[in-house]
Every structure is written in structure tokens, then in C-alpha cells.
Amino acid sequence: MSEIPERQEVVELAKRRGYLYPSFEIYGGVSGFWDYGPLGTSLKNAIVGSWRDMYVVRHGYEEIETTTIGKEDVYEASGHADGFSDALASCPECGTFFRADHLVEDHTDIENADGMPKERLAEILADEGVPCPSCGATLDNARVEEFNLMFETNIGPGTARKGYLRPETAQGIFVDFQRLKRYYRESLPFGVTQVGRAYRNEINPRQGIVRLREFQQAELEYFKRPDDEIDVSPVEDVEVRLYPVEEQEDDDGEPFVTTVGEAVEDGVIESETIAYFVGRSQEWYESIGIDPDRLRFRQHLPDERAHYASDCWDGETLTTFGWIEVNGIADRADYDLRKHAEYSGEEMGVWQEYDEAVVREETVADPDMSVLGPEFGGAAGGIADALREKARDEPEAFEGDEVSVTVDGEAYTVSTDAAGFERREVRETGENVLPQVIEPSYGLDRIVYSVIEHSYDEDVIDDEERTVLRVPPKVAPFDAAVFPLVSKDGLEEHAREIEEKLRQAGMRVKYDGSGAIGRRYRRHDEIGTPLAVTVDYDTKEDGTVTLRDRDTTDQWRVEKDEIIEEIESVVEGDG
């Protein structure tokens, strides 16, 4: 695999050749926003296409598209309105920002100050005489302000209805869950995917494209019964590098390579379903050009888990920014559906029939109020309630002719007939179950960047250094380049003809007739075009063209009519 490149060179190439552009650069730009140029868009689309092929096509996890602006209620229920914001204290002396809740936790016995109102946090900071960790000044006049990572907006005129730009695509799937469960005819498990943009108003994003304020996610929400697990056997032999909590907490702990099957067997990954998606992710990353030596799956430490996650494994790639998170496979349990059920009052459970109906005996009382009313007057209502309770809890009390209950310290005796006591059989055929959610969620921008870095290579051809982007053909921005050997003697027309033929066959091709042939090969090496088709004088004679391979620079001749097949075999066969 290729050497680790200089970040400068990669970023420079990405900008110069049309992969990535800083957004609104002519107005000075704003950090955290990047545009995709033509090649970047093509690469990203190819990566998304391959992701869809994996989940939507091969697994049947159908895709939906939901709005990027969400009503306030959605994010109150999801916990983002509270949990996604931090109270920041700024030192009046040096201006440095700190998490106010962390300062409070460090200097008092309070164990969880997250979620305390900012006024209270400021009070505690002042009362405890907490010093600024940076300059030592006392923080008794520190301003404590809520900083929510969600972008806010207003829906409609005025300020009555608040909306948020979604901080993750997931909630769109959860709030549509009732309709989705009907679509899937109420049968678990099923998966729903979504690809789209999400927004986080990061405090101070740096690291170029690695931390964005507007970014793209591809997410799968896999809904299952608590006991359902996906069988890992299709990926049991996939080798993965794992970095579990235990190894991270051990000073000598290191990530280790194992197979998905062994990881489940050894209990390293507790959830078989999570392990399955780790395996699928590993396969997918390798197929789009992530270097397996620079890929690992790291388990979240307990204190870094999101408010909704009970366990989480992050796919991480090693880049010049260090190890960066490119996806998370989180066990969200029933957190989201439970919260939306609670806040909306809607039923979010899925009816699950038991394998066999459960029959049990139930004891009930249906007191005859026309008897109790005249006999006990105002106390009748309370007596009836007490009888119902007693029928459920102590059915044996109804075995005689009379039954006694106590209401407000007063004992009453009622004839068993008037109590309307009954034993009956109840058949329970199933129950509403809140599905458990396993969420593999991919950060597309970081993946695109990682693919570029991992593909970037420099080698030497005929004593000349060249830059070559060794991206897998299936995600390369172009399938092939088409060149006339020289721009005269009618070679251009032949080349144009071939270009057109390839386009009509659905191939992404680029024609280039400018400069010497060697220069054009280098240009396309640099942007990762896997094949070049060169029209030369023999083409006029015998109808063959030269194909030239990006990685090896090998050349071979094929008939004009076989170009399409030949390109397809390279692109689909991955070289």
C-alpha cells in the first residue's frame, strides 16, 4: 500500500484538480464548510452508490428521504435540544472557554452537572471559588452561556415556531416510524436507510474537511426485536482490527486483528448484530479504497457514548489528521422510539404475535352499583374500586357468600353476588414491542477524504516522479480517458467517435487532446482514471486502440468493438 502522504500535498491536489473547494472562497470562506468539485462529486456519488448497493440493494434496507429542518418538538423528544448543548463558561481574565459542568464536577461532589441550568452553574462556580484552569483567575464573574450545537431557524413568519436544522439524519426515520412499520406490514426486523445532509454548529472546527458544520451522512436504522440478532456467518471470516474498551484502558493495550466470528465467540463484541455490521463495514471500506492497515474499529469508552447509545463501535481511519471516526455502529436500544412515544403520545410499538397464544386465568369484579349505591351511599364508589382491586389480588376472598373490604379505615361487607366476581380465561396472542435499534451511521465526507488520502501515491516511471491516485476503478471519477495520440491526421475524429460511443454506453469518460501524450497520462494518473484509450495510426489501419493501465502503466491493444467490454472487466473486476 501507498506511503502516508503529506497532508499539504493531498489537500493541494484535491483543490487544484477539482475534488474539494473551500466554500464561498471569494468571500473569504468560513471554516467548517467545503464544496465538492466535479471530481469530488463524482467520487462521492460513486461511494454513495456503492453504499446503497450494499445496504439498499443487497440487504433490502429501503431508503427514505426526510426533511433537513425539523420541528422543535422532534429535537426536544430526541434529547438534542438539551443533551446536544453545552454550558460554556468563559474566563473574564483570559477569555478561555470551558465546559461549566465539567468544572463543577471537578471541584464539587456533584457527579453529573450536565443539564443544570446555566444560572445554577454560574452560582456554583462563584460560591466554590473555582479558578480558571488556564490562567488561574477566579471565575466568580464568569459568563455561563448555553451553546447548542444545533442551528436554529424559524418556520414561517414571526418567531412563533422554532425549527432546527437536523444534527443527524436518524430522527427523520424515527418520527416516520409509524408509517414505516405499516409499510413493512408490522413485521420485525427491518432496516431503513437515509442519505443526506446534517448540520452541527461546531464551536471552532479546524482540520479542514474532517470537521464540518454541514456534512453528509449515510445511515441505516435496523429495527429488531430485543432477542433478534443478525447471523454473522456471512462475514465470520472477515478480518477486522478491533480496539475494545479493555485494551484502551490498559496502558499496554493495543488494537488487535481477529475475525468477526471470533470476536463474537470470544465476547469481544457483545452484540452479534453490531459484529455483523462491523464485518460488512470492513468489506465495504476495502472495496472503496480504504487501506485495511489504516482502518480499525474502536469501542466507545463509557463516558464518550452519546446520550442515546448503550454500546458503540466506531470505524476509524488513520489519516494525516490522526485516527478519525468515519462511522459509528451504535446500539440505540429503544431510546428514540420510547422518547417519541412519550412526547407524542403515539404508539410506537410493533405488534408481535406470540408463537403460541398465552392463555391465563383472570379474576375480575364487576360490582352491581344498583345494589351498592342504595346500601352504602357516598362510599359506594370507593367500595367498588376496592372490590376490583381485591378480585385481582386476592381472588380467594370471594369464595364465601360475603366479602369484606376496607375503605378509608372503614370496613364494609358486601355479598359476593353484588360484587359480580368472575373467573375467566384470557387469550393473549401477542404484545406491542418497542423495537431495538442498531444504527450503523457513516460520515461520507470523512470517508471520501480518507479514500483520497489512502489512494494517494507517488512512484517513479522512467526516472520521472509521478503522482497517482490508486482509487478502486468502481469509485474513480472517470471510467476511462480517451486520447488521440497526436492532434492531427484525423486521429482526433476517431477519438471523438470512441468518446461518444463510450458515453452512450453509459461510461464516464473524459476526452483530452491537449499537449503530449505522456502529459495526458500523468494528468489522469493524478485524478485516478483507471484506464486510458489511445487512438493512434494503427487505429486507422486495423481498428485497434491502445489501452493503458493507470497503476502499472502497462499497455495492450484491443479491437475498437471490444473497448467497452474491456473497460467493464477492469471496472467491475476491480483490476
Partner RNA sequence: GCACCGGUGGUCUAGUGGUAUGACAAGGGCCUUCCAAGCCCUUAACACGGGUUCGAAUCCCGUCCGGUGCACCA
362: contact with RNA by CB under 7 A: no
Binding piece for RNA, criterion CB under 7 A, among 63-71, 264-272, 286-294, 299-307: 299-307
Smallest separation (angstroms) from RNA to the CB of 412: 57
Cell 376496592: give the residue: 386
Of these, 40, 70, 163, 167, which contacts RNA (CB under 7 A)?
167
Of these, 49, 117, 129, 133, which contacts RNA (CB under 7 A)?
133
How many residues are there in the chain? 575
Smallest separation (angstroms) from RNA to the CB of 86: 5
Smallest separation (angstroms) from RNA to the CB of 49: 26
For RNA, the closer CB: 232 or 468: 468
126: contact with RNA by CB under 7 A: no
Binding piece for RNA, criterion CB under 7 A, among 120-128, 367-375, 386-394, 552-560: 552-560
- Give SS3 for 501: helix
Site string for RNA, 43-82 (x = CB under 7 A): -------------------------------------x--
460: contact with RNA by CB under 7 A: no
Nearest to 189 by CA among 215, 220, 228, 150: 228
List strand residue ranges (DSSP E) for 172-294, in order.
190-199, 214-224, 239-243, 256-259
Q: Which of residues 481-520 bind RNA (CB under 7 A)?
A: 485-488, 514-519
- Give SS3 for 237: coil
Return the ∠ at Cα 192 (arms to 188 and 193), rounded to 5°. 160
Smallest separation (angstroms) from RNA to the CB of 435: 20
Of these, 130, 534, 564, 571, which contacts RNA (CB under 7 A)?
534
Of these, 195, 309, 380, 448, which contacts RNA (CB under 7 A)?
309
Residues 6+ apart with CB under 8 A from 229: 271, 272, 273
Distance from C-alpha of 82 to C-alpha of 339, rounded to nearest angstrom: 13
- Give SS3 for 486: coil
For RNA, the closer CB: 64 or 306: 306
Cβ neighbour number for residue 316 with a 10 Å cutoff: 23
List strand residue ranges (DSSP E) for 293-401, in order.
295-299, 311-319, 322-333, 350-365
Full DSSP string of 11-70:
HHHHHHTTSEEETTGGGT--TT-EEE-HHHHHHHHHHHHHHHIIIIISS--EE----SEE
Distance from C-alpha of 469 to C-alpha of 456, rounded to nearest angstrom: 5
Binding piece for RNA, criterion CB under 7 A, among 22-30, 57-65, 231-239, 257-265: 22-30
453: contact with RNA by CB under 7 A: no
Smallest separation (angstroms) from RNA to the CB of 327: 11
Smallest separation (angstroms) from RNA to the CB of 443: 10
Residues 6+ apart with CB under 8 A from 462: none
Of these, 1, 6, 16, 302, which contacts RNA (CB under 7 A)?
16
Cell 469508552: give the residue: 301
537: contact with RNA by CB under 7 A: yes
Site string for RNA, 196-215 (x = CB under 7 A): ------xxx-xxx--x----
305: contact with RNA by CB under 7 A: yes
86: contact with RNA by CB under 7 A: yes
Asked whether 269 and 263 are in contact (CB, 8 A), the reply is yes
Q: Which of residues 366-395 bind RNA (CB under 7 A)?
A: none
Smallest separation (angstroms) from RNA to the CB of 485: 5
Smallest separation (angstroms) from RNA to the CB of 328: 7
4: contact with RNA by CB under 7 A: no
Asked whether 192 and 220 are in contact (CB, 8 A), the reply is yes
Could you tell me which residues are beta bridge partners of residue 347? Answer: none
Distance from C-alpha of 528 to C-alpha of 480, rounded to nearest angstrom: 10
Chain contacts with RNA (rule: CB under 7 A):
8, 12, 15-16, 22, 28-31, 80, 83-86, 90, 94-99, 102, 133-134, 149, 167, 202-204, 206-208, 211, 304-307, 309, 328, 461-462, 464-467, 485-488, 514-519, 521-523, 525-526, 534, 536-538, 546, 548, 553-555
